Amino acid sequence: MARLPVYQRILLELVRSGTATVSSEQLADMARVNASKVRKDLSFLGSFGTRGSGYDTEFLLSHIDKELGLDADWPVVFIGIGNLGRALARSQGFTSRGFRVSGLYDVATELVGTTVGVHVVRHLDDFEADAAVDPPAVGVIATPAAAAQDVADRLVGAGVRSLLNFAPRVLRVPSHVLLRQVDLSIELQVLSFYLSHRDHPASASVSSPLPHPVGLSPVEPG
């Protein structure tokens, strides 16, 4: 269920702001979807609502967290501590709720030894030894494209079974390894599609009612 993370974020904000209950309609507004959809989605997890008053935010959040596996504690290593890697490793979304930074690695000698948040950047050559002591579950690759496949091979070799690849290159991994390729510029291309069908000189007369391109609605992380 691809909308679960969205509900999770919204509920997290509601819990933090002290809201005790929320109706499907309120949740739907915040997630920018239909209220029935929210109810169908949530009924998939079980009957957690109270008719007449809505859902208990804290109770519902804990169940979504469990469903998403955010009640676990997966060690995550970050490879490639450039601008993007640093941004990811420091972001609350990547360092809380189910995940724990277990190591930051790079090959640039001027980066090795520096600190990012509370963590010290180590040389990639130390990775295998570190992994033997504290085996990482997830590897986040934010290296240049040319290095990504080698890094992926080393991660897989060290037993990492899940990869998140931000480098703009398609990776080959064994079938038992979970891989998600992430391309930040896809968002811009989607925007471009709507832009061109709305503002483009060549299509100024397009009258088809395009749906409003509303993406995920993240809420404030801690």
Partner DNA sequence: GTTTGTGAAGTTATTCACAGCG
Partner DNA sequence: CGCTGTGAATAACTTCACAAAC
Show contacts with DNA in window 43-102 (CB under 7 A): 43, 47-55
Cα 156 to Cα 79, 150, 174: the distances in Å are: 13, 10, 8
37 binds DNA (CB under 7 A): yes
Residues 6+ apart with CB under 8 A from 216: 5, 6, 9
* Span from 37-45, 47-55, 85-93, 124-132 in contact with its own copies (CB under 8 A): 85-93
Give the interface size with its own copies as a residue count (CB under 8 A).
71
Query: Please, is 145 exposed, middle or buried when counting C-beta atoms within 10 Å of its C-beta (0-12, 13-18, 19+)?
Result: exposed
Beta bridge partners of residue 164, listed in sequence order: 140, 180
188 binds its own copies (CB under 8 A): yes
Distance separating alpha carbons of residues 36 and 162, to the nearest angstrom: 34
Choice from 20, 46, 91, 125 touching its own copies (CB under 8 A)? 91
As measured in angstroms, the least distance from the Cβ of 150 to its own copies is 15
Q: Give the number of other Cβ atoms within 10 Å of residue 170's Cβ.
A: 11
Residue 128 CB, shortest distance to its own copies, in Å, is: 21
Contact between 4 and DNA (CB under 7 A)? no
Which region among 19-27, 107-115, 151-159, 167-175 touches its own copies (by CB under 8 A)? 167-175
Partner whose binding site includes residue 135, from DNA, its own copies, none (CB under 5 to 8 Å by kind): none
Q: Which of 140, 105, 111 is nearest to 125 (CA)?
A: 105
- Which CB sits closer to its own copies, 113 or 159? 159
Given its own copies, DNA, none, residue 110, with its beta carbon under 5 to 8 Å by kind, binds none
Q: Residue 19, interface with DNA (CB under 7 A)?
A: no
Judged by CB under 8 A, which stretch of 15-23, 36-44, 118-126, 210-218 contacts its own copies?
210-218
Q: Is 90 in the site for its own copies (CB under 8 A)?
A: yes
The answer to whether residue 108 forms part of the interface with its own copies (CB under 8 A) is: no
Q: Nearest distance from residue 58's CB to its own copies, in Å?
A: 19
Per residue in 111-121, is it b (16+ CB within 10 Å) or e — as a string? Answer: bbeeebeebeb
- Binding region for DNA (CB under 7 A): 23-25, 33-37, 39-40, 42-43, 47-55
